[in-house]
Amino acid sequence: MIAPIIHWFRRDLRLADNPALAAAATGGAPVIPLYVLDDATPGRRAVGGAGRWWLHHSLRSLDGDLRRQGSALVLRRGRALDAVSRLAEETGARAVHFTRGYAPGDAEAERRLGDTLGAQGVDCRRFAGSLLVEPEAVRSRSGGPFRVFTPFYKACRGLRIEAPLPPPSRLAAPMAWPASDRLEGWGLLPSKPNWSGGLRECWKVGEEAAQWRLDAFLDAALARYAANRDRPAAAGTSRLSPHLSFGEIGPRDCWHRVTLAAEAGGGGLTAGAETFLRELAWRDFSHHLLHYRPDLAEAPVRPEFASFPWRDDRPALAAWQRGLTGYPVVDAGMRELWRTGWMHNRVRMIAASFLVKDLLLPWQAGEAWFWDTLVDADPASNAANWQWVAGCGADAAPYFRIFNPTLQGEKFDPEGEYVKRWLPELAGLPAGLVHRPWEAPAAVRAEASVRLGETYPYPLVDHAWARRRALEAMARIRH
């Protein structure tokens, strides 16, 4: 009897373009697919609420895909180190394969697993698979990590992005299946209240759905991506982020399919494809930053921000979370987030800027809310982008560049279509006033059934005043 190989699934919940799984399947040894819900390792950040919803459906989908190949997903809960080594012992596995992780503590946990398995006589093999290029493969001219995106991207463009692998043609089953938890028993789905209705309407989860999203993007949106990606009312972006975040599709797959689709026209890469590849590389850059700064979600990269005079104002934080700030584009974004678990990138930037610069609330509070409510919540991209917006990140927007939420709304949602979609209480206002309802004449407001302070709030702060306050706070830490 050939001893089995365990493939430990982590944020690589797919069969295609999965080098660790492909290597396990080569040679015909039985493969035991395993997922461990690790809510026991001290210091490990638990997946947020929306992420748990996604994870439930993604695991179910993966199990279905495996069963169609005569295999199945074994579920275990507890400290990953214990669960993996115990399963290896139970099944007499000769090897454990997994895709490396980049979250804080992952590298240390992987090293300890290697030691433990080594002591059991089990081969432990770690594979790359979640990024376009590994952090160690790109170094600045001084030999250290990159802190700025553009040179990082230039270095990445100089490297060969490996072609994606097909799914294994066969996954041999073990003689006997080890015991598995029941997914329903893990309680990943919300019960009371069940807030997941909007997520269900909006998303199809799993590897097949990810491939469908990519196909749909290539067909319908790639050609106009460069022009439309900043228009929150348009379906102008790929919406692949939760699929990428849970590893239902690999970034190399996206990179190559977009490149091929764009080059099929014969004229080389289109502007849309160039812009998309660059965005995909921002995901890598965020992981690059996290790899070298495991505390990215907690501590500012720029040390002077440690003494920034953030305010403690719970009612203001709650108004922001619930989409009741009185600034329509911010509120529309926060309501889109609550309903669908996703928010358009442009609006993420505006809403995040409003929290840290207009309300002067700590970026970590915003990062934590996004962590809990985004289906694509990602330890690298979330933290890096919050630091970027707050001005305290490695390659951050300068602090003095403060978005005016009204002008941003008018620029990127000129017809007010996005705002009206998410704030039906403002739907009756004309486009020219929908981003500034407080300026609408009383008769126009009455006609649109808008009663400020009742159906929609007055602005929580005056932007011009808040801007000056933010700049003064910044001046204080600089001196």
Ligand X SMILES: Cc1cc2nc3c(=O)[nH]c(=O)nc-3n(C[C@H](O)[C@H](O)[C@H](O)COP(=O)(O)OP(=O)(O)OC[C@H]3O[C@@H](n4cnc5c(N)ncnc54)[C@H](O)[C@@H]3O)c2cc1C
Residues labelled catalytic: 279, 282, 310, 345, 363, 386
Write the binding mask 364 to 403 for ligand X: x where contact by CB under 6 A, - elsewhere: ------x---x-xxx--xx--xx--x--------------
Give min distance, CB of 469 to ligand X, in A: 21
Stretch that binds ligand X, among 38-46, 258-266, 276-284, 330-338 (CB under 6 A): 276-284
Q: Residue 244, interface with ligand X (CB under 6 A)?
A: yes
| 5, 280, 301, 355: which one binds ligand X (CB under 6 A) | 280
Question: How many residues sit in the footprint of ligand X (CB under 6 A)?
Answer: 27
| Tokens coding 419 | 């705002």
What's the DSSP call for residue 289?
H
What's the DSSP call for residue 452?
B
Write the binding mask 198 to 237 for ligand X: x where contact by CB under 6 A, - elsewhere: -------------------------------x-------x
For residue 5, report the phi and psi dihedrals to the nearest 5 degrees. Answer: -115, 135
For residue 65, report the phi and psi dihedrals to the nearest 5 degrees. Answer: -60, -40
Our CB check for ligand X shows the closer of 91 and 387 to be 387
Q: Residue 162, interface with ligand X (CB under 6 A)?
A: no
CB-based contact 396:425 (threshold 8 Å)? no
CA gap 369, 336 in Å, rounded: 14
- Residue 178: how many other CB atoms lie within 10 Å: 16
Our CB check for ligand X shows the closer of 196 and 382 to be 382
CA gap 36, 22 in Å, rounded: 20
Give min distance, CB of 455 to ligand X, in A: 28
Q: Residue 245, interface with ligand X (CB under 6 A)?
A: yes
CA gap 276, 75 in Å, rounded: 36
Name the β-bridge partners of 6. Answer: 32, 96
Give min distance, CB of 195 to ligand X, in A: 19
Cis peptide before 193 (omega within 30 of 0): yes
| 36, 113, 156, 349: which one binds ligand X (CB under 6 A) | 349
| Tokens coding 337 | 């987030």
CA gap 177, 32 in Å, rounded: 8
Q: Residue 241, interface with ligand X (CB under 6 A)?
A: yes
Q: Residue 321, interface with ligand X (CB under 6 A)?
A: no
Distance spanning both ends of the chain, measured CA to CA? 71
Residues 6+ apart with CB under 8 A from 433: 439, 440, 444
For residue 96, report the phi and psi dihedrals to the nearest 5 degrees. Answer: -125, 130
Stretch that binds ligand X, among 47-55, 58-66, 274-282, 468-476 (CB under 6 A): 274-282
Residues 6+ apart with CB under 8 A from 446: none
Our CB check for ligand X shows the closer of 31 and 383 to be 383
How far is the CA of 250 from the CAs of 11, 16, 171, 236, in angstroms? 10, 8, 20, 21
Our CB check for ligand X shows the closer of 308 and 386 to be 386
Stretch that binds ligand X, among 238-246, 314-322, 331-339, 418-426 (CB under 6 A): 238-246
285-304: which residues touch ligand X (CB under 6 A)?
286
Give min distance, CB of 70 to ligand X, in A: 32
Stretch that binds ligand X, among 9-17, 46-54, 147-155, 346-354 (CB under 6 A): 346-354
| Tokens coding 70 | 């005569």
The edge-to-edge listing of strands for the beta sheet with 31-37 is: 74-77, 31-37, 5-9, 95-99, 123-127
Q: Residue 352, interface with ligand X (CB under 6 A)?
A: yes
What's the DSSP call for residue 46?
P
| 239, 252, 357, 420: which one binds ligand X (CB under 6 A) | 239
CB-based contact 376:242 (threshold 8 Å)? yes
Our CB check for ligand X shows the closer of 7 and 11 to be 11
Q: Residue 327, interface with ligand X (CB under 6 A)?
A: no
Our CB check for ligand X shows the closer of 196 and 385 to be 385
Residue with tokens 């300068």: 398
CA gap 228, 67 in Å, rounded: 40
Stretch that binds ligand X, among 35-43, 60-68, 183-191, 344-352 (CB under 6 A): 344-352
Q: Residue 279, interface with ligand X (CB under 6 A)?
A: yes
| 14, 283, 288, 293: which one binds ligand X (CB under 6 A) | 283
Residues that bind ligand X (CB under 6 A): 229, 237-241, 244-245, 279-280, 282-283, 286, 345, 348-349, 352, 370, 374, 376-378, 381-382, 385-386, 389
